[in-house]
């Protein structure tokens, strides 16, 4: 279960994601949101995490530079194998 605390004038929620990593997220500012509303927002986030629906957009997309490096390493391996006669 997560927690809600006040930092300055903003309410911050702390919860665990699907990988058991602690995540902190700003839930709103003090005049508009009180602690009760912030707790309800956090409960909704935790419910979505349990169902596996939260932050689906945060999936890791490979960076083109990293893919190019991997391809160059593989092509160098292929070239050395050809030179060795394998």
Residue 84 is predicted with a pLDDT of: 60
Q: What is the CATH number of the domain that holds 75?
A: 3.30.160
Contact status, residue 42 vs residue 4, Cβ threshold 8 Å: yes
Residue 76 is predicted with a pLDDT of: 75
Contact status, residue 28 vs residue 41, Cβ threshold 8 Å: yes
CB atoms within 10 A of CB 12: 17
Residue 18 is predicted with a pLDDT of: 82
pTM of the model: 0.59
- pLDDT tens digit string along 14-63? 999 888 889 999 999 988 899 999 999 999 999 988 888 766 555 566 66
DSSP structure class, residue 20: S
* Contact residues for 1 (Cβ-Cβ < 8 A; gap 6+): 15, 46
The count of structural domains within the chain is: 1
């Amino acid at each position: 279960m997560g927690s809600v605390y006040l930092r300055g004038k903003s309410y911050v929620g702390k919860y665990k994601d699907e990988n058991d990593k602690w995540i902190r997220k700003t839930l709103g500012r003090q005049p508009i949101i009180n602690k009760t509303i912030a707790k309800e927002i956090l409960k909704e986030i935790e419910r979505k995490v349990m169902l596996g629906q939260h932050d689906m957009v945060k999936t890791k997309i490979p960076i083109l530079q990293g893919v190019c490096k991997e391809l160059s390493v593989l092509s160098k391996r292929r070239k050395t194998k050809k030179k060795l006669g394998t």
